[in-house]
Amino acid sequence: MKSVVSDFEYFVPKTVEEALKLLSQYEEEECKVIAGGQSLIILMKQRLLTPKYLIDIKGLSDLDYIKLDEKEGLKIGALTTHRAIEKSPVIQKGFSVLSEMEQNVSSVETRNWGTIGGNVAHGDPSGDPAPVLIALNAKLKMTSLSGERTLDAEDFTLDYFETALRHDELLTEIQVPTLPPNTGVKFTKFSQIVGDYAIASVGVLITLDKNKETCSDARIALGAVDIAPMRAKKAEDVLKGEKISNDLLAEAGQVASEEASPTTDVEASEEYKRDLVKVLVRRVGSEALARAKKA
């Protein structure tokens, strides 16, 4: 039979601990973890990755869960599939932006097998979940044999396909805090066809004060327009403490488009992507605002 990917030794650990032990036994360069593998297998077919050892964690059902705690917020196990998040009544009710984002992640086929943890750990700057998690002020839990640590989602991806995850760690949980009152969140990705990679994506969270007049907090996350998903902090400052108008959202869009560092590629030029950011921040911002008013 023709080999489409290079040969490797294959391990199926039964527990997280067993997976971590295996990880610590092998060097980073020769060993990869596979969850759903919806991105990894493509890179292996292209021989961009030729691991000697493959640790398959897809079957670790301990990391497949969606839990809601009123105090601590939403907790999603790293091996929860995109489809499970899309269809979860708990998420649709309290964190609808996550479910809406998942509806547009690739195809049903990919969402049925691919996991949110795998997607985030892959570190693709044009991935969909990361900007939403950044807008939602999520934290990522990583586990190693020596313990656990958490990082803000915005600090996780460092560069193209590079993350803060150490080789001896697994990304194990995504933690989304309960939304403050009067908060609206919206995400939109601009792509050539439904389910395609983002040419640019924008997530906006807006929290209004008690009277629902001025903006007490704003988070603006951008995807696919820098080496990693990013926060447009200067654009956030344009909104904070102000009564949000369409003009102000347009100004925030302008500022965000200057904060982004997109590069020209086969899909669009740098200028076009900056323009997308400008328009999307205004549009998505106004939808987030409408949601905050209704919340």
Instruction: Kindly list the residues in this chain that would bind other proteins in the complex (CB under 8 A).
Output: 1-10, 12, 34, 37-38, 41-42, 45, 54, 56, 58, 83, 103, 106-110, 112-113, 193-195
Smallest distance from other proteins to CB 193, Å: 8
Smallest distance from other proteins to CB 101, Å: 14
Smallest distance from other proteins to CB 32, Å: 12
> Crossing angle of helices 270-294/246-259, nearest 10°?
140
| Dist CA 263 CA 269 (whole Å) | 7
* Residues near 6 by beta carbon (within 8 Å), at least 6 away in sequence: 44, 47, 50
Nearer to other proteins, 193 or 266 (CB): 193
Distance from the first to the final alpha carbon of the chain: 57
Count of other CB atoms within 10 angstroms of residue 104: 18
Q: Is 196 exposed, middle or buried (0-12, 13-18, 19+ CB in 10 A)?
A: middle
Which residue type is seen at 50? T
| Beta-bridge mates of residue 220 | 204
Smallest distance from other proteins to CB 56, Å: 6
Smallest distance from other proteins to CB 218, Å: 31
Nearer to other proteins, 36 or 73 (CB): 36
Nearer to other proteins, 38 or 188 (CB): 38
Nearer to other proteins, 95 or 197 (CB): 197
Nearer to other proteins, 103 or 216 (CB): 103
